[in-house]
Amino acid sequence: MDTKELLKKIRLLEIKTKGLTKHIFSGEYHSAFKGRGMTFSEVRDYNIGDEVRTIDWNVTARFNEPHVKVFDEERELTVMLIIDVSGSKDFGWKTKTKKDLALELAAVLSFSAISNNDKVGAIFVSDQVEKYIAPEKGKKHALVILREFIEIQPKSEGTNLSEGLKFFRNTQKKRSIAFVISDFIDDNDFMEGLKVTRKKHDMIALRLVDEAEATLPSMGIVQLFNSETKETTWVNTNSAQAKETHAENFRRFEQKLTNDFKKSGIDYTSLSTGQDFIKPLVHLFQNR
């Protein structure tokens, strides 16, 4: 992709997702993710309904009239996007791949963060950390993250999310919000890494799925290629048995994943390449 085409794609992405950020996600994001605490703002006269515990007794004694302390939420947060860039990112049955969906999510989350004056950074991970972008504020930095994601050419096609999670823990010492964006097709025990990371950081898992993973489309006898293992398999996609086996394997994987996230106490939702991601993402934010 040449520079002109890249800039055009980023600009279109910015226009599309900033509208969503402004009209849909801004309030949900702010209420879903709390700041690190409360900071003192000012002292004012007591009003009926104010909590007694907020009374500043020293100022009250000095002026012989009740005064209360006012506190503001300390809002500044750090948002990290831990994005799976393994070989399966290029899978997509129709018009959108998992990477396309991940890119839109990265844009919405980045612009939501900067619109709330929060820092945002990114870790791109395959079975190794492919790229680290330290968290900073501002629109320019958000656009850097999107550009790097569009252009990235991973050194590996494999998946080991634990490597990205370990890197995240080592680089982010203060409590942060981490969105793990992946299809979670990983033979390694990434759930243990998520549990360890959750002890200090706020973790949200966004799973990328494609409808062809749930329902095998009828295409006759086709050769399926695993972009991560480089293995190929011939499958008769018109076969009822093949369709049922495919669907059952997907259901089992999905149920196990859902149960594991629930047991771990990690907020989680699935987002499909063939459907609008707005509703499930808003629902996730509202339930926090």
Query: Would the pTM count as exceeding 0.75?
Result: yes
Return d(Cα 118, Cα 101) in angstroms, integer.
23
Query: Among 74, 100, 132, which residue terminates a domain?
Result: 74
SS3 track for 133-186: EEEECCHHHHHHHHHHHHHCCCCCCCCCHHHHHHHHHHHCCCCCEEEEEECCCC
CA distances from 22 to 30, 112, 165, 284 (A): 12, 8, 30, 18
For 234, the 3-state DSSP assignment is strand
Residue 177 belongs to some domain of the structure: yes
- Please name the amino acid found at residue 161: L
Kindly state the tokens that stand for 240: 């009822």
Q: What is the CATH number of the domain that holds 137?
A: 3.40.50.410
One domain, residues 190 and 68: no
Contacts of 46 (CB under 8 A, 6+ apart): 55, 60, 65, 66, 67, 68
Return d(Cα 179, Cα 288) in angstroms, integer.
14
Residue 125 pairs in a beta bridge with 84, 129
Residue 233 belongs to some domain of the structure: no
Domain count, the chain: 2
Q: Which domain holds residue 24?
A: 3-31+75-209+256-286
For 259, the 3-state DSSP assignment is helix
Per-residue confidence in pLDDT tens, the chain, 288 aa: 556 676 677 777 777 666 666 655 556 666 666 655 555 667 888 888 888 888 999 988 988 999 988 765 555 789 999 999 998 888 776 678 999 999 999 998 998 888 888 899 999 999 999 999 999 999 999 999 999 999 999 999 999 999 999 999 999 988 899 999 999 999 899 999 999 999 999 999 999 998 888 777 777 777 666 666 667 777 777 778 877 887 888 899 999 999 999 999 999 999 999 888 888 888 888 877
Residue 220 belongs to some domain of the structure: no
Q: Are 107 and 50 in contact (CB under 8 A)?
A: no
Return d(Cα 81, Cα 111) in angstroms, integer.
12
Instruction: Give backbone dihedrals phi and psi of 136, rounded to 5 degrees, phi first.
Output: -145, 170
